[in-house]
A and B are shown apart, each in its own frame.
Chain A
Amino acid sequence: MISKKKDTAKKIPIGGMITEAGSSARFRTGSWKSKRPVIDESRCIHCMACVQFCPENCILIKNGKRGDIDLDYCKGCGICANQCPVKCIDMIQESKFEEK
């Protein structure tokens, strides 16, 4: 819940309209995921297939190479793991990370 007390029916825009551009950045879709992609850095060939296919654009590029995954927006869909030509991405249960 991100609503505020001052956001009454009289004050918010009609029809659910959002008048602030880029406000979806505040909506951390990564909180949904049940599995997290983990990359085996020793086997990654930096082909960028995962970067291209990520529907959330949350696999970053750094210095011309594949960078970190922004887990705030990764929904855990597993498309990156599926597309990886060298199969170096594993989808690991979120609970494994919570335990640590």
Chain B
Amino acid sequence: MAKARFKEVPFTGAEAAAEAMRQINPDVVPVYPITPQTPIAQKFAQFVADGIVDSEMIRVESEHSAMSAAVGASAAGARAMTATSSAGLALMWEILGVASGSRFPIVMNVVNRALSAPINIHCDHADSMGTRDHSWIQIYCENAQEAYDNCILALKIAESVDLPVMIMQDGFITSHSVQNVRIYEDKAVKKFIGKRKLDKWLLNIDDPVTFGPLQLQDYNFETKYQQEIAMDDAKKAYLKIGKELSSLTGNRYPYIEEYRLKDADAVIIAMSSTAGTTKAVIDMMRKQGIKVGLVKPVLFRPFPYKEIGKALANAKYVAVLDRSFSFGANSPVYGEIMNSLYPLARKPGLQSYVFGIGGRDITEKDIENVFHDMLAGKITDKKKYISLRES
């Protein structure tokens, strides 16, 4: 595929996600407004009102209903997309498992926001991290461009392995701040997306099937194992389809982004918008001759253990920055990084940091301090907290 033409426009992350949805033109979009996701639904509703898309937009009474309607639509053979945040994602919880367990390729934009209580509208990753074992493919985006590109990528991956995908962007930080986003021409995106290929679907009276039946001790294990295999397939599909999209956009879609990593003594692992801040700090410190680097996990489910282990093989110190807790356990990203390092013969020093809970700001200075602490060998087996008033 030849490179697609594009126009560069100032878009928020939310607008970029809505723009990808416009180009995908899904058949059904059931959605319920919730901060900070609302501007995605709002912009898409405008497309519907203006007749720019053919989508049936269902104004449901809750997120539980939004995901239920997406499940029904997807079972009927439609392309179904939605968007949510925080409590909305939590309310979908039951139906998230129905979507993945029934193998419906629903695509959902998630704008990360803290979970209640106490109620908070700002960014942390408690919402999507809470759903990480729910058999949804998870892609975390650093900026508006990634939110746009990954939404298009997600749809094709979902339909190639029959698993739902959620694409995350940081609440307000990404969703509400304006950046230049390259929007590729409609024709090229639509050609890339193609049509949903269906083998069996609901309401096909010539070939009737049952979705969502009771399944007990005799079959359930096999069905759940199929989901595990589908995740393995998703890992392969992500690179393959990413390469196809790459020929269109010129951007790359790796499992992890490595930034000035090769000779780095101290490495920070950070996802989403914090990776962008970390890059700025790395550039600044590199100018001073300090060897620091970044690994940004993009694909979190399925998780690229081997690739991360390989990327960290030469690091002396690794700091993992988590924007959520797993109360009473290692934070989600830290736990996975620790798992990735286990097979290595020579393991780097590893330090867990928790930051940004409830939208607490993380500054360049904070990140610089983490690097300096790493390089001074300040490694503990306890969590450290960035900008927390502890005592």
User: Which residues of chain A have a CB within 8 Å of any CB of chain B?
Assistant: 1-3, 7-9, 12-19, 21, 23
> Can you show 20 pairs from A to B with CB atoms below 8 A apart?
A1-B218, A3-B218, A7-B222, A8-B222, A9-B222, A12-B219, A12-B223, A13-B209, A14-B162, A15-B101, A15-B102, A15-B211, A15-B226, A16-B101, A16-B211, A16-B220, A17-B211, A17-B213, A19-B207, A23-B210
In the assembled complex, B208 has its CB within 8 A of some CB on chain A? yes
Q: How far is the CA of A9 from the CA of B224 in the complex (A)?
A: 9
A-B interface, 8 closest residue pairs, ranked by CB to CB distance from nearest: A15-B103, A3-B218, A18-B210, A9-B222, A15-B102, A21-B208, A9-B225, A1-B218
What residues on B are CB-neighbors of A21 within 8 Å? 208-209
Q: Do residues B215 and A16 form an inter-chain contact, with CB atoms below 8 A?
A: yes
A16-B212, A23-B210 known, 8 other contacts, Cβ within 8 Å:
A7-B222, A14-B162, A14-B230, A15-B211, A15-B223, A17-B209, A17-B211, A19-B209
In the assembled complex, B217 has its CB within 8 A of some CB on chain A? yes
Q: Count chain B residues whose beta carbon lies closer than 8 angstroms to a beta carbon of A.
A: 24
What residues on A are CB-neighbors of B210 within 8 Å? 17-18, 23
What residues on B are CB-neighbors of A15 within 8 Å? 101-104, 162, 211, 223, 226
In the assembled complex, B200 has its CB within 8 A of some CB on chain A? yes
Q: How far is the CA of A9 from the CA of B230 in the complex (A)?
A: 11
In the assembled complex, B329 has its CB within 8 A of some CB on chain A? no
Q: Do residues A16 and B218 form an inter-chain contact, with CB atoms below 8 A?
A: no
Q: Do residues B217 and A1 form an inter-chain contact, with CB atoms below 8 A?
A: yes
CB-based nearest A residue for B230: A14
What residues on A are CB-neighbors of B209 within 8 Å? 13, 17-19, 21
Q: Do residues B218 and A18 form an inter-chain contact, with CB atoms below 8 A?
A: no
What residues on A are CB-neighbors of B211 within 8 Å? 15-17
Nearest CB of A to B382, in Å:
42
> Using a CB-CB cutoff of 8 Å, which residues 322-349 of chain B contact chain A?
none
Looking at A1, A2, A8, A15, the one whose CB has the most chain B CB atoms below 10 A away is A15
Q: Do residues B103 and A14 form an inter-chain contact, with CB atoms below 8 A?
A: yes
In the assembled complex, B229 has its CB within 8 A of some CB on chain A? yes
CB-based nearest A residue for B219: A3
Q: How far is the CA of A9 from the CA of B220 in the complex (A)?
A: 10
Q: How far is the CA of A23 from the CA of B102 in the complex (A)?
A: 19
Q: How far is the CA of A73 from the CA of B101 in the complex (A)?
A: 28
Nearest CB of B to A26, in Å:
13
Q: Do residues A18 and B213 form an inter-chain contact, with CB atoms below 8 A?
A: yes
Q: Do residues A14 and B226 form an inter-chain contact, with CB atoms below 8 A?
A: yes
What residues on A are CB-neighbors of B222 within 8 Å? 7-9, 12
Nearest CB of A to B211, in Å:
6
Q: Do residues B200 and A17 form an inter-chain contact, with CB atoms below 8 A?
A: yes
**Beta-carbon contacts of B182-200 to A below 8 Å, as 1s and 0s?**
0000000000000000001
CB-based nearest B residue for A27: B214
Q: Do residues B208 and A9 form an inter-chain contact, with CB atoms below 8 A?
A: no
